Amino acid sequence: MTRNGAARQGFSKTFAVPGADPGQLGRDFRVIPAPVVAPVPESPGLFAVQVPLTWLGTAATRSDTFAAMAATFDRISEIARRRGGYVLPPGLGTTQHRAPLAGDTHVLEVLSSVEQEVLCNLLRTQVPTLITLFGRGRTVAGAPRDRVGSRWLAGSGSHLATRFLASTTPAHLERVKAELRRRDGVALLDRMDIHPGTAPDGSMTVVVRCLDSAATLAGLRAQALLLAASAMQARRMVRDGRRIGNVPQRMLEDNRARAVADGLRAQLATDDKRSAPRTRNDRSPHGGHRQAEGAGVALRPARIVARSTLRALAVELRNLDVDATELAPVLLPLELPGLGVERRNSESDLLARWAMGGDRELTDRVLAGLTDPAPGGPLLSWVHTVAPNPAAITLGAWQDRIRQARLLQSGGRRSTGSSSSGGRKHTGRPDRNFGDQRRGGARPQQADRRANGS
């Protein structure tokens, strides 16, 4: 058992069925017992497989869940074929049907309003990195590749960059909403990329709605794992009495725009002064906090920022019983370019390759990816064929890093890492100031008094 375990999480996996009547399909999908398959509101022609809050804390439970997802997509495909259609993830199109755009929604259960606040603010800093890792352009059979970081978010009129939430407790949330409405013109929190929510059973949740729809079950699995690790990191922070500071909104919005435009090619701004954990040693003689040497805003390659974020999550990934192959859709495009594999390392590269073969090749291959529950999916199989040694080096190195993070933790020390907004450098070694960091930061009661204006 671990002291800091996973909570439940759910997700809605969107898909389209070109060539069939959406109304008839909606009625046909009702015969699928579980999970529920339903039309996406305000998105004609789109449907979602809705997985309710489920515990995914071990590799075995994840394998069972995604095997069930694969069986569901098999059933969906049979129904679609009978109606003259075929299944495609959003963002993919054929010569006969335009590619619709949509995302997958993830829901993370939290255990308290304080944890809800901390997770919302933590994910707020990670949004640009999440977009660089999971965003895609359109892929259309026979058409040139779209290299935009996220074509869906680039054209979306229903997404707002997440604002800092001083508190999400019921007693304070209305005041927080009123302040955001007055200051930023944000009238509805559920329009933000990350927002607090409530599950049908009354559980408090955090909703993530800024990730492009995954093209394969392996990609969906990687999304769910990184979000689960972030949720565990937030729970650990609450347990240690720490919170996330208010990283500058302008910097996060600029980073988000860069990520949407350029994906992993982007340069992201970091603010080490604001995002680094504060310790006793940072106190000035006058009672304030010193500015760290060299702190300030600087641009860093998105790959470096993403790698730092993943390293910061290594302990949580170990507690989730993660094998590096489960993260292959993230790790391979992140690391293989540094090993000389430039254009055969991501699901976007694989989709472009399938699209070159025409409509039939694309639709058949994509359906295979949606019915393949194996960790890594078709991308890992492809990379093992075209670049076996670099793939083995990448996955082996990350497997060691995840395993060592557990050894460090069991030895009584734990290293902390940075988010996409900058932060302390993760070195893979125990942090000598860890005891001070645990005592640093605002206590929950202090932040709640600030939100209440007292």
SS3 180: helix
**Axis crossing angle, helix 217-239 with helix 113-134, rounded to the nearest 10:** 140
Q: Is the pLDDT of residue 6 over 90?
A: no
- Residue identified by tokens 């599950």 is 199
The tokens of 31 are what? 């015969």
When pLDDT is cut at 50, 70 and 90, the band that residue 151 belongs to is very high
SS3 341: coil
CA distance 157 to 146: 20
Instruction: List, for residues 30-44, the tens digit of each pLDDT value.
Output: 999 889 999 998 888
CA distance 399 to 323: 7
CA distance 87 to 15: 7
Closest CA to 217 of 11, 69, 107, 328: 69
Residue 143 has a pLDDT of: 87
Q: Is the pLDDT of residue 215 over 80?
A: yes
Instruction: List, for residues 360-407, the tens digit of each pLDDT value.
Output: 999 999 999 999 999 999 999 999 999 999 999 999 999 999 999 854
One DSSP character per residue, 39-87 reads EPTT-TTEEEEEEEEEE--SHHHHHHHHHHHHHHHHHHHHHHHHTT---
> Residue ranges of the alpha helices (H) in 241-357?
249-262, 272-275, 302-312, 314-319, 328-335, 347-356
CA distance 330 to 372: 17
CA distance 246 to 235: 18
SS3 340: coil
Amino acid at 21: D
**All structural domains of the chain:** 8-278+292-432 (3.30.590)
CA distance 2 to 169: 27
Closest CA to 355 of 96, 93, 77: 93
Residue 34 has a pLDDT of: 82
Q: Is the pLDDT of residue 449 over 80?
A: no
Residue 272 has a pLDDT of: 60
Beta bridge partners of 108: 9, 206
Is there a contact between 234 and 312 (Cβ–Cβ < 8 Å)?
Answer: no
Q: Is the pLDDT of residue 440 over 60?
A: no
CA distance 156 to 192: 12
When pLDDT is cut at 50, 70 and 90, the band that residue 273 belongs to is low
Q: Residue 198: how many CB atoms within 10 A of its CB?
A: 11
Q: Which residues have CB under 8 Å from 168's CB, separation 6+?
A: 113, 116, 117, 120, 176, 196
pTM of the model: 0.84
Residue 454 has a pLDDT of: 40
The tokens of 224 are what? 């769910």
